[in-house]
Structure 1
Amino acid sequence: QGLKSVYSHVHALGQCRRAIRELGLAAHTAGDTAGAAREVAEWGDPTKAAIAPRLAADIYDLDVLAENIEDEAHNTTRFIVLSKTKQWAAPNAGSTITTFIFRVRNVPAALYKALGGFATNGVNMTKLESYMVDGEFAATRFLADADGHPEQPAMARALEELQFFSKEVEILGVYPASDFRLTNIRAFAFGD
């Protein structure tokens, strides 16, 4: 179709490598996906395309040339909303997710012990990522998601045990679980 270049956020480009390679396009990073669509619309150059949400195509009056070009159908992008004040979901608001960071002590089995409270209290941890602090292996910080609300007894006990075995624990947010997450959890659990 005469396309030569594609523009998008670095992560969107990374999630669509196969299509970019198959089409022989030069990939260029943009600050965000919608911004890439805006720029492509402004340039008006038919050799340039953007990887962006359909809404961006509608807003900037762009033709959708292909959909679902991600390498893996389960690819998702999470967005966070920041606030200066704590605004947690209500404890009885249905399915909630608690996102927190923690840093374990630098002793053998520290992570195992810190996470043990989630297992013994039946709290499902859905994400665990590690990050070195100041580039040193001696201090590692973890980002985690767990199903539940800190005011629910099982989660409260799990977080209390985490606190006991950690140098630092900070809850970043408590929010309703997305329908997408709930649907995928059910499908995975029941083999749908």
Structure 2
Amino acid sequence: MQNYPAPAQALVAEMIEACAADPARAVAFQGAPGANSHIAALETFPNCLPLPCFSFEDALDAVRDHRADCAVIPIENSLHGRVADIHFLLPESGLVITGEHFLHIRHTLMALPDHGEITQAMSHPQALGQCRHWMRANGVTPVSYPDTAGAAAALVEAGDLHMAALAPSISAAIYGLKVIEPNVADSDDNTTRFVVLARAGRDTPVDAGPVMTTFIFEVKNIPAALYKALGGFATNGVNMTKLESYQRGARFAATEFYADIVGHPDEPHVRRALEELAFHSKWVRLLGTYPQARARGI
């Protein structure tokens, strides 16, 4: 808790105490109270007790240690791409994806009530990346901080009259800041996708409606490995909505991939595609099958 700026610590302590009394209702999120992940947790589980965690690792640990029932974690943004480190943390966590949520992002520029000319803006790197064009056009220098609402609290603690914070508008009310610009994002359709992570998967029947399946795999280090591994999805008519590569370690030999597909592993055409993927890969690991929160390709 001491990692949080002083203006946030009392509220964080209060929320942690409430979650400790009823961990079955606790939903972990990364950031200080008022962060976008806090809002996403409340939208996904309106009756939950949000549990603030300083880092993504802390949020995942809270679920593993039974201090929270699940965690709501951002995985990608429509403007700035994937959230750093999540693709490594997900498989290492041992947790299962049980749901997804899409949050319309509205960044608010806020400062101390008696502020002077704003020359810098502090926020999470994702938020700074989503507002980089606006900041460049207005001569504002970005300053990185571990989360959006935490940047608002840190601004109050620092008392810098020339610094602003980029955070959800609720953060201004929580920490007593003045709103300078209510909507700073570079695009009106700025959206972040969150996933729900739990210790065990929920039972998602084949006929439950549109579902997503997420998995990771490593291709063999041979020519056309990826082409062969993915061929079954094309021939079986399975819609792959996301495919991202990343390197683990310094081998630079074979690449691991994160993928989302539309469909349930128990559906015959999906099962055939996954079997073909497994044949042409070193290994395949399913991370979860869960209800689709938004139709893809529309």
TM-score by length of 1: 0.82
| Contact 1:88 1:173 (8 Å CA) reproduced | no
- Pick aligned residue for 1:150 from 245, 265, 269: 265
Query: Distance between the aligned counterparts of 1:145 and 1:20, measured in 2?
Result: 33
Counterparts of 2:189 and 2:227, CA distance in 1: 29
Deviation at 1:168, TM superposition (A): 0.8
Give the number of aligned pairs: 183
CA distance in 1, matches of 2:203, 2:137: 45
Q: CA deviation at 1:53?
A: 2.1
How large is the Cα RMSD of the aligned pairs?
Answer: 2.3
Aligned counterparts of 2:134 and 2:185: Cα–Cα separation in 1: 8
Matches within 5 A, 1:96-107: 96-107=211-222
Aligned to 2:191: 76
Looking at structure 2, the residues matched to 94 and 44 of structure 1 have their Cα atoms a distance apart, in angstroms, of 51
CA distance, structure 2, for counterparts of residue 149 and residue 97 of structure 1:
7
**Equivalent in 178, 185, 191 of residue 297 of structure 2:** 185
Per-residue Cα deviation, 1:53-105 (whole angstroms, up to 9, x for no partner): 23333433434332443334454333333333233644333222211110011
Using the TM superposition, name which of 23-32 and 84-93 deviates more: 84-93
Distance 1:140 1:32, change over 3 A: same
Structure 1 stretches lacking a partner, 5+ long: 187-192
Matched, 1:93 2:208: yes
1:86 aligns to what SS in structure 2? Answer: coil
Identity of aligned residues (%): 52
Matches within 5 A, 1:21-40: 21-40=136-155
- 1:189 matched to which residue of 2? none
Q: How does 1:7-26 map to 2 (within 5 A)?
A: 7-26=122-141
- Alpha-carbon spacing, 1:4–1:78, altered in 2? closer, same or farther (3 Å): same
Does 2:283 match 1:168?
Answer: yes
Paired position in structure 1 for 2:119: 4
Cα distance change, pair 145–49 in 1 and its aligned pair in 2 (3 A)? same
Cα gap change, 1:60 to 1:134, in 2 (>3 Å): same
CA distance in 2, matches of 1:145, 1:23: 38
Structure 1 CA distance, aligned partners of 2:129 and 2:256? 25
Which TM-score applies when normalising by structure 2?
0.55
What is the rounded CA distance, in whole Å, between the counterparts of 2:209 and 2:195 in structure 1? 20
Distance 1:97 1:57, change over 3 A: farther
Identify unmatched segments of 5+ residues in structure 2: 1-115
Look up the SS of the partner of 1:139 in the other structure.
coil
Structure 1 residues 137 and 47: CA distance shift in structure 2, 3 A: same
Alignment-mate amino acid for residue 297 of structure 2 = I
Cα distance in 1 for residues equivalent to 2:233 and 2:173:
44
Q: Structure 1 CA distance, aligned partners of 2:130 and 2:281?
A: 34
Q: Distance in 2 between matches of 1:31 and 1:109?
A: 40
Taking the aligned partners of 1:89 and 1:45, their CA distance within structure 2 comes to 50
